[in-house]
Chain A
């Protein structure tokens, strides 16, 4: 898109019509967050399936980059199909659980077991990557005073776990006393909105508890860390300048885009509001600039008119 911008300065500009068409022409790779962008829970955002198919039909590369670590990728694929997204393939889906397994296998090359705080999504991905893990074997009356601790745990991986317990937290803390034991978090999302105004604590809460209990900082796999983009780049030939990251959470998706050198777009169907984006843009703190999107749309369905020609 034409127009000079001060280096690092993001305009946070709402765009429509021909501006969107120009943007779609200029980019080859579209990275979508999922929750709040293409669906809400079990309901697709109106028009989102058509946007995805249209991009693919027009020869664009589409990826889904989600911090949600609760499902294995096959399960995500089923969800895509169930919600009407017909052209999505498993290879296009990058979840923080999948990327955590990749990190442990290919980057850390962990020798030994992983202690997991997490659900089916994480466990399944570790299984598929051939990484041995422990995490769920406690007797109902077990305590940190009397429970067994495995001797060959070389990494602790913490992710969303609705069966989180004090004992899991305590065991993880004991394993992390060994400075050689890796400390990974799938993501640090602090909370997620539920349908009726309630909120659900995110992986970030469990990670915070563990960071305080150990005095150590977790290495974060998911957005805003650039690792998931490195995963995509290692499997596909991706040019950051040709990418657009579309998300709904400023502190996660936009920061991720900024960290990876991608143009960013905020869609207003999810968590963050235009007002907050503008406040970050107008703030005196230079670090807040990284939260500011280049572009803003009300919904990704706003792409649809661009395909009608």
Chain B
């Protein structure tokens, strides 16, 4: 069959169309939440898809804005959910890449003030980036006189269930120094939980700090290209040989567009086909970058694509 036009066309594909697409790519980059798992529940068929792609000689990477775990913990989760052959080197989280940025790009001389959880703290420690050590369970001082560390040269904001007013106040005080860097792990506004609940994302906390400090954060995670640059620098990836598979149009698909990758929306997560079509029909030229090239119901459809050929 004739080649599919990758033109932000939002084409729903199955079977041999998927096969043809995958045959043309060397590298597949998967988002995690909403693509290969939802919380602690694996997306049916996802482990088989990863194994299959590797058997076909593809390089497979996992690229997630979720900054709550260090990479070793992600490896455990992969194993726990039935993925048998995922190596730590294949996992790129915004926490890992934030630490890499501070160490290798910013070459930080000084400490980082972190709003975030263990995922970020551990990655920073592993990268040898000094952190302001605080006993967050026993805060000292009031909102008017808490101590400030004079060695802070960067503020990093990520998902933090212990975020509170004092952390916000400290962050914006550190950021009064224009030499102090301002980084955000990712811009995700919220994440779905069970039962219709949501939890605010790093993007929400970053908005608070941006407003208090009158400064804009440098964002490490998708849709910024930095995480692709991280992978590409370690594995020599060619964007034209790479496919980005995600569930969030404003994050994953825009990321793909920004980095020059073909993009595929899977419908097992946050964004819907209606939303994708809405962006496609929009008059605003900026919206075009939110439109995926391809759409699948679930990545499990890849399995059928290979079975058809064999049938």
Give A residues with C-beta under 8 Å from B.
143-145, 149, 161-167, 169-170, 173-174, 177, 190-191, 194, 197-202, 204-206, 208-215
Contact = CB atoms under 8 A, between A and B. Distances in A.
14 contacts: A144-B161, A162-B143, A177-B198, A191-B214, A199-B172, A202-B211, A205-B168, A205-B207, A205-B209, A206-B208, A209-B200, A210-B204, A212-B190, A212-B206
Contacts of B164: 163-166
A171 to B, nearest CB: 9
Interface residues of B, number: 35
Interface string B196-215: 11111101111111111110
Contacts of A143: 161
Contact of B143 (A173, A200, A212): A200
Given A190-B214, A208-B210, A212-B189, A170 B165 contact: no
Contacts of B203: 212
Contacts, number: 114
A190 B207 CA distance: 11
A211 B207 contact: yes
A213 B189 contact: yes
A208 B207 contact: yes
A202 B214 CA distance: 12
Contact of B198 (A164, A167, A173, A200): A173
Contact of A198 (B161, B173, B209): B173
Interface of B: 143-144, 160-166, 168-169, 172-173, 176, 189-190, 193, 196-201, 203-214
B165 A213 contact: no
Contact of B176 (A161, A169, A199): A199
Contact of A201 (B160, B169, B199): B169
Given A145-B193, A201-B165, A204-B211, A213 B200 contact: yes
A173 B204 CA distance: 10
A215 B275 CA distance: 15
Contact of A212 (B160, B165, B207): B207
A144 B197 CA distance: 8
A166 B161 contact: yes
B161 A177 contact: no
B200 A205 contact: no
B144 A201 contact: no
B165 A199 contact: no
A166 B163 contact: yes
Contacts of A174: 196-198
B113 to A, nearest CB: 15
Contacts of B166: 162
A149 B193 CA distance: 14
A165 B208 contact: no
Contacts of B189: 212-213, 215
A149 B194 CA distance: 14
B200 A166 contact: yes
Contact of A169 (B143, B172, B200): B200
A166 B203 CA distance: 13
A244 to B, nearest CB: 29
A169 B165 CA distance: 11
B165 A164 contact: yes
Given A169-B163, A201-B208, A213-B189, 19 more contacts: A143-B161, A162-B166, A164-B165, A164-B168, A166-B160, A170-B199, A173-B204, A194-B144, A197-B176, A198-B173, A201-B211, A205-B208, A208-B211, A211-B207, A212-B201, A213-B198, A213-B200, A214-B190, A215-B190
Nearest to A168: B164
A195 to B, nearest CB: 8
Nearest to A199: B172
A191 B166 CA distance: 14
Contact of A199 (B162, B207, B212): B212
Contacts of B190: 173, 212-215
Contact of B200 (A170, A194, A197): A170
A205 B211 contact: yes
A145 B198 CA distance: 9
A205 B196 CA distance: 26
B208 A191 contact: no
A240 B172 CA distance: 38
A209 B204 contact: yes
Among A164, A177, A210, A211, max chain B CB count under 10 A is at A164
A145 B168 CA distance: 23
A177 B192 CA distance: 11
Contacts of B206: 212
A278 B200 CA distance: 40
B199 to A, nearest CB: 5
A272 to B, nearest CB: 14
A177 B164 CA distance: 22
A169 B197 contact: no
Contacts of A167: 161
Nearest to B144: A194
A208 B208 contact: yes
A161 B165 contact: yes
Contacts of A200: 143-144, 169
A165 B163 contact: yes
B172 A201 contact: yes
Nearest to A203: B211
Contacts of B196: 174, 177
Contact of B212 (A165, A201, A210): A201
B143 A209 contact: no
B212 A205 contact: yes
A162 B165 contact: yes
B230 to A, nearest CB: 25
Contacts of B165: 161-165, 201
Contacts of B197: 144-145, 149, 170, 174
